[in-house]
Chains A and B, each alone.
Chain A
Amino acid sequence: GAVVSQHPSRVICKSGTSVKIECRSLDFQATTMFWYRQFPKKSLMLMATSNEGSKATYEQGVEKDKFLINHASLTLSTLTVTSAHPEDSSFYICSAKDMGRPVGEQYFGPGTRLTVT
């Protein structure tokens, strides 16, 4: 089956620094990738939609200057949390849409636990 990886799985950073999270589709091409944020005991909230070769589309309330998304190739999207603060601590999950699969189907990565101290 389709595999999506995320790196790193866990990261701890100091307040004010930036952190980059990678999302890769390992065995398929993904023109579209998605970034979700999951708070403890909460649902996944879509942050942004990342399209290869174009600017990401951010959901209402998500600061695009704080959460920089780059989708430079058909298998890689990155999320950079800039000037991180403790309130940015969360579980970030990416997903990728396989071009050959029905609309709506997404494959999810294992997530990245970000802790900002």
Chain B
Amino acid sequence: AQSVTQPDIHITVSEGASLELRCNYSYGATPYLFWYVQSPGQGLQLLLKYFSGDTLVQGIKGFEAEFKRSQSSFNLRKPSVHWSDAAEYFCALYSGGGADGLTFGKGTHLIIQP
């Protein structure tokens, strides 16, 4: 069965600093990968996705992620964070086949220090 691991439960970053959130997956083939952001009490907003092709994908709000097959990783990055980026970030995998539901990691809580 597939799984998604986000090793960092919390990350604290100073405003203006760079950010990298880690995501590792386990799946027998190339998965479809997503990053979502959830603000308190809100639903999930899609930041970016990887289906195939270029392994560096650009998303909204200045985020990007790089798919590395050799490391089974799909880390999210942002060169300079803003206070409004404070939220919960989820990495998710879609394996296709008969089930279309997503498999989520446990999330990383991002705290922005002034």
Contact = CB atoms under 8 A, between A and B. Distances in A.
A4 B44 CA distance: 11
B104 A104 contact: no
A44 interface: yes
Interface string B39-61: 00111111001010000000000
B100 to A, nearest CB: 6
A46 B101 contact: yes
B11 interface: no
Contacts, number: 63
**Chain B: number of interface residues, binned into ranges:** 20 to 34
Binding site of B, secondary structure by majority: helix, strand, loop or mixed?
A: loop
**Chain A: number of interface residues, binned into ranges:** 20 to 34
Contacts of A78: none
Contacts of A57: 99
B94 A110 contact: no
Contacts of A108: 36, 43-45
A75 interface: no
Nearest to B32: A104
Nearest to B107: A43
B96 interface: yes
Interface of B: 9, 32, 34, 36, 41-46, 49, 51, 90, 94, 96, 99-107
